[in-house]
A and B are shown apart, each in its own frame.
Chain A
């Protein structure tokens, strides 16, 4: 028996293959994803699926991620691209959406509209643009995806998103069982194997199919494994290494220089054309490599590649750097002469040059960077543009790089690149984008709003086109808004008359929060909604924030309007979107706004968690300003939970960073509450008052309302008339409810306090509701209405219990008119819920007798004689 007769079978994977068939036939699924350890046979299974699909008449394609293709966007899927990279517009921008649509059309044409079964091997190594393209094609059923993911490698969003939507079948591959390995050996060798040899293969491979394959082929090659009278024997020990890579090294080590050179060439530049290889190496070298299971040759496709990615890894590892460089550069030169460096070839050439540490064609690099930008892969953008020689960097490339540096958090470098970009010749539109991005970097990255305003003013003086000038005005408003001047921002926005979509989008970014903080919450919500719709319709453009920022604004506006449940819902949906797209700034703001909404809802532990998350995200992406907001929120939540130490620590951390004017007055809630938690009520009241004054002078109406209301609810001086005034200036039901509550506190009006409590409760502001009920109880009992007092207290307790450990002063005041002891109240509440005495006793670890004694005392105090009167005495249930 000769090695040529060897057919390497697939064993133990029939359930998975059946699952694939079902998923493909269902028409509902977008694909399958195969997970498993290295060498378990993911690629083999994927290719087997592909082959079955092909046999059944489906068109198929194959792409694979690798270390080299990962260097350039769309590198891995170059074979699918109809026309290379697509075209850029006069500003150097690339229409990626058109490129994707064009690729889809080309695929559909090539395969006559049939669904294409697409293997995407090692998706963890695919670049973001390739993943985006595959996701785009899978979404509408143009392709059926077969993806493989190695255990321990990051699972791309493409896979997790489809999987979450239930559109991807998941297959987990494990190593073969002993019986399966025996079957594999039997089928591979074509007959029975001697018991000792079978055992040795099992002990070494433990059922790992790739390991078994390497071991068997190696042993056949070296003559250790031989057939005698129809039975296979192991005459020599097989290599005892437990590292698969060592095994491959030993196999390759036996090869002569010529064969080895072919493998090196493929390891660096695969796939290569068979016709080319045949021209440079003798036919028998290729044949022997194929026989030894080291390369696979597709004659019709004129395509040769390595048999397994692991071989590539081992060979590359053993190839000296200088030699690899020489190979890559000579292949790049060859392709450039034979294929004229167009389209897909240009991409490969660039990849090889980059890999060799050489200088790829700058145009290719810049186009690649545009694609990476489209996929929000800013690190790749940076790497590609930084490979462009400085003297060939144009304004468009400077903008791309500057924006990437900003997104990555290298603000100082972004400032340098963008300032240099402004010195280069460019269209007015490009000059505008550079200015806007540079101002954004100054404002958000460097926390220097004055510098941002100066950049803006300078750009405005140099621009003549009116629509562009208006965009700069909108941007000036944005700087003002996010540095703490909402009224000035709104005044600036008034100067804009233009109505084009882009201007509307930029205007909405500053307009929505400015309207919200100045109390016009309905307009704010509408503006944010329209801004989002316009931004999505506008498509992806440089120098404008991500569309999700409008959702952030909408969440904020909804919260200011007291529409807390809607705010939370939208924030949670938005957070998911930006987590998938990796937009750090939006992720920070969604987390911080969820913390903020939770604070308003009285869900303080939740708030603390979200704020901590936001602070962590801000820290990771170097956004000092947003980090300040998050740490303020964190300190506030900690203080309201009564954790004075944690609150003080968060404040100290916050104050070690630069100042940040955005929502400045609101940030000071944290300082006041931290003082309360530290039992310094006078200090707290003073801080509330001072911050409210700042809010008033800068037009932060809703923040002033929050600060004054908090001052009153924590026992500070009366501010009810100012709160009523604010209510008259705002459409916010939350601002109105605070005003009514303040008036009721001031008047000690029990009914009004109860009404305020109901308002808060309806809004989902549970802590405020609990406090208002507690105040109502006190007023009722002062008025001698014991029953109403008890009922109000019960509602207060019920709501406070939902506030995750809130420890605000208003929850704690003693209530002399409802004379139940704490224990009595506890037992009465349970009894009023209909719980039998025995169950109450069990829950509280008391005897039944003690429970009944407490109940009797409580009945006497409440003026009733039995449990039956309890519910009524407590004023009905909430």
Chain B
């Protein structure tokens, strides 16, 4: 990522502000619309799940400029997701859903540059998560 892209992600995320719960709700709507089969992966209380997602998203956005911190958090996150049975193809759906949810909440603020910055950020984060997932999952099981 470029420093400008990182700033753009962070500033646009700040604009979400109080609408973070709405963003989260929208994200899950988008995700389950894309793939209803993913719903059973979320066995816990959805309200609690949304809070967890929002917290994690905030944390990731804040650590974006510091790769070492980002690696520590997101690798472990990926390892946990492997345990939930999340597949590589699911990551694409999550990314698309997140970008659409952001567009819905940010409206005109989500311009082309912002969208691209988020896309780059998500690519980076998902690669690290998948690396963590691979390291955690013994294959052949």
Contact = CB atoms under 8 A, between A and B. Distances in A.
**Co-assembled chains A and B:** yes
Interface of A: 9, 11-12, 14-15, 17-18, 21, 24-25, 52-53, 55-58, 179-180, 182-183, 186-187, 190-195, 198, 230-231
Contacts of A191: 67
A231 B4 CA distance: 11
A18 B88 contact: yes
Interface in B14-42: none
Interface residues of B, number: 28
Nearest to B133: A14
Given A56-B140, A183-B127, A230 B65 contact: yes
Contacts of B139: 21, 24-25, 52-53, 56, 58
B123 A183 contact: yes
Closest 8 CB pairs of A and B: A195-B2, A179-B123, A21-B139, A14-B130, A56-B139, A56-B138, A18-B88, A14-B88
Contacts of B3: 192, 194, 231
A195 B4 contact: yes
Interface of B: 1-6, 65, 67-68, 87-89, 91, 119-120, 123-124, 127-128, 130-131, 134-135, 137-141
B19 to A, nearest CB: 26
Q: Max chain A CB contacts within 10 Å: which of B89, B91, B127?
A: B127
Contacts of B130: 14
Contact of A14 (B4, B5, B127, B140): B127
Contacts of A56: 138-141
Contact of B2 (A25, A53, A183, A198): A198
Contacts of B140: 21, 24-25, 53, 56-58
Nearest to B122: A179
A15 B88 contact: yes
Q: Max chain A CB contacts within 10 Å: which of B5, B68, B123, B135?
A: B123
Nearest to A177: B123
A231 B6 CA distance: 12
Contact of A182 (B123, B131, B134): B123
A94 to B, nearest CB: 36
Nearest to A24: B140
Given A25-B139, A182-B1, A187 B128 contact: yes
14 contacts: A14-B130, A17-B134, A21-B140, A25-B139, A25-B141, A55-B135, A56-B141, A57-B138, A179-B123, A190-B67, A192-B1, A192-B3, A193-B1, A198-B2
Q: Max chain B CB contacts within 10 Å: which of A180, A183, A231?
A: A183
A193 B124 CA distance: 13
Contacts of B4: 195
B124 A187 contact: yes
Nearest to A21: B139
Contacts of A52: 134, 139
Given A55-B135, A55-B138, A11 B1 contact: no
Nearest to B87: A18
Q: Max chain A CB contacts within 10 Å: which of B2, B65, B88, B134?
A: B2
A186 B89 contact: no
Nearest to A194: B2
Contact of B6 (A12, A58, A192): A192
Q: Max chain B CB contacts within 10 Å: which of A21, A187, A192?
A: A192
Given A55-B138, A183-B127, A195-B2, 15 more contacts: A14-B134, A17-B134, A18-B87, A21-B140, A24-B139, A25-B139, A180-B123, A180-B127, A182-B120, A183-B123, A186-B124, A187-B67, A187-B128, A192-B1, A195-B4
